[in-house]
Chains A and B, each alone.
Chain A
C-alpha cells in the first residue's frame, strides 16, 4: 500500500480517467449545472478532460506532505486551463454558483471510487476523503476567484468604454461646440467631460459651447452642481456656455431644489440654443429665396 496521502487518489485518476470524467459530467447534469444550452456535449467533455488532466498533474507534483497551494508552479497548467474555461463561461453567461458546483461535482465520482478500493476503509478512507475534499475545495475556490476576476475585467472595460463614448465634443460650426450629455453624470464623468470640453475649446478657439442635457434622465443638486461648474470653467476660458435641453419637468425640479443657474443661459431645446449660438458668432439662419 503506497504511503503518500494522494497515492490512492492518483491511482484512481490514472486507471479510470475517462470513467471519472464521464461521471463528473453525470453529476453536473444531476446538479443541473451542465449548461447544455450553452455548451455542446463534446465541448463540455473536452473542457472537463483538460481540467482533470491539469488537476492530476497538479496533485502529482504539487502536494507535499499533504500540503499544497494552488499558487505554486506545479499548478500552473490548472490555472491556465481554468482561466480559459472561466473566460469562456463568463462570456456565455454562466453564474458563479453554477461554476462552483461544476467543480464541486468532481467529489462524488472520486468518493465512490475510493470507497470501492480494496483495503481502503476506516481511518484510511476518511483520510483520503479529507484529502480529496481539500483539493477539490481549493480548486473550486480558485475557480470562483478567477471567475470573479474575469467579470471585474469585463465591468472595468465596459466602464472605460462608456467613459470614452459618453464624452464626445462636436464642432457644430466655426467656433461653436456642442456636448451632448447622455445618461447619468457622476463626479468621475463630470470631471472627464469638463477636461475634454476645455481642451477642445482651447484647440478650436470656440466662442460658444452648447451643453445639451436632453439625454440626462434626472437632474438633482449634484448633477446641477457639475453642470454649473463646467459652465463656470468654460466662462473663465473665455467662451460662453448655453445649457440646452432643459425639459419642463427638469425646470420644475431645478426650481424646487433651489438651484440658481446665475448668469448661465439656458434653453429648452438644442434648436433655439443653436440659433442663439450662431447669432453670437455672427451668423444668421434664413430660408433660401427659392422656397
Chain B
C-alpha cells in the first residue's frame, strides 16, 4: 500500500483519494489493494476522489476505467468525484468518455446517490 493514496470506509462505500503526485506503479498497486478491500468489506460503492488531480493522461484514464470494471464485477458501483474542469476537458479531448463510471460533484453528492441506489 502506497503512502500517498488512502482508502477509507465511509458509510457503505470505500473512499479513495488519489493524490496529484501519484505514480504509475502506485496506481497499479492501488488496483490490487482496492479489489481486495471491496471483496473483504462487501461494500456497495467505491468513491474515487480525484479533486487534487491536475493532470491526467490516457494511462490514468484507463486505470480509472479498469477500477470501475473491477468494482462492477465485485458488485460495487464506482463514483468519480471532484473532477476539475481542465481534467474533464482533457479526458474528452483524448476521447475517453469513461462510460463505465458514475460521476458526482462531491463526496456528499456521491453518497446521496449511493443511498438512493
Task: Determine if B98 is an interface residue (Cβ-Cβ < 8 Å).
Answer: yes
Task: Determine if B1 is an interface residue (Cβ-Cβ < 8 Å).
Answer: no
Task: Determine if B80 is an interface residue (Cβ-Cβ < 8 Å).
Answer: yes
Q: Quick one: which of A195, A229, A233, A239 has the most chain B CB within 10 A?
A: A233
B57 to chain A, nearest CB (A): 15
Q: Are B99 and A263 in contact (CB under 8 A)?
A: yes
**In the complex, chain B residues whose CB is within 8 Å of the CB of A237:** 83, 85, 88, 103, 105
- Bound Cα distance A199, B89 (Å): 11
Task: Determine if B75 is an interface residue (Cβ-Cβ < 8 Å).
Answer: no
- Bound Cα distance A201, B104 (Å): 12
Task: Determine if B82 is an interface residue (Cβ-Cβ < 8 Å).
Answer: yes
Q: Are A233 and B89 in contact (CB under 8 A)?
A: yes
A128 to chain B, nearest CB (A): 65
Interface residues of A in 12-36 (CB under 8 A from B): none
Question: How many residues of B are counted as interface, with CB atoms below 8 angstroms from the partner's CB atoms?
Answer: 21
Other-chain contact of A233, B80, B88, B99, B106 (Cβ < 8 Å) = B88
Task: Determine if A212 is an interface residue (Cβ-Cβ < 8 Å).
Answer: no
- Closest residue of chain A to B82 (Cβ to Cβ) is A238
One digit per residue, 1 when the CB lies within 8 angstroms of any chain B CB and 0 when it does not, for chain A 118-135 equals 000000000000000000
Q: Are A238 and B83 in contact (CB under 8 A)?
A: yes
- Bound Cα distance A236, B85 (Å): 9
Q: Are A236 and B98 in contact (CB under 8 A)?
A: yes
**In the complex, chain A residues whose CB is within 8 Å of the CB of B91:** 233, 236
Other-chain contact of B103, A195, A202, A236 (Cβ < 8 Å) = A236
Q: Are A202 and B85 in contact (CB under 8 A)?
A: yes
The main secondary structure of chain B at its interface with chain A is mixed
* Given A232-B97, A236-B92, A263-B99; A198-B105 close (CB under 8 Å): no
Q: Are A238 and B99 in contact (CB under 8 A)?
A: no
**In the complex, chain A residues whose CB is within 8 Å of the CB of B84:** 202
- Closest residue of chain B to A263 (Cβ to Cβ) is B99
Task: Determine if B81 is an interface residue (Cβ-Cβ < 8 Å).
Answer: yes
- Bound Cα distance A262, B109 (Å): 24
Q: Are B85 and A199 in contact (CB under 8 A)?
A: yes
Q: List 16 A-B contacts (CB under 8 A).
A: A195-B89, A198-B89, A201-B85, A205-B105, A207-B105, A233-B92, A235-B103, A236-B83, A236-B91, A237-B85, A237-B103, A238-B81, A238-B104, A238-B106, A239-B103, A263-B99
16 new A-B pairs (CB below 8 Å) besides A238-B82, A262-B99? Answer: A201-B105, A205-B106, A233-B88, A233-B89, A233-B91, A235-B97, A236-B80, A236-B83, A236-B88, A236-B92, A237-B88, A238-B83, A238-B103, A238-B104, A239-B103, A239-B105
8 shortest interchain CB distances as A-B pairs: A198-B85, A238-B105, A233-B88, A238-B103, A236-B88, A238-B104, A233-B92, A232-B97
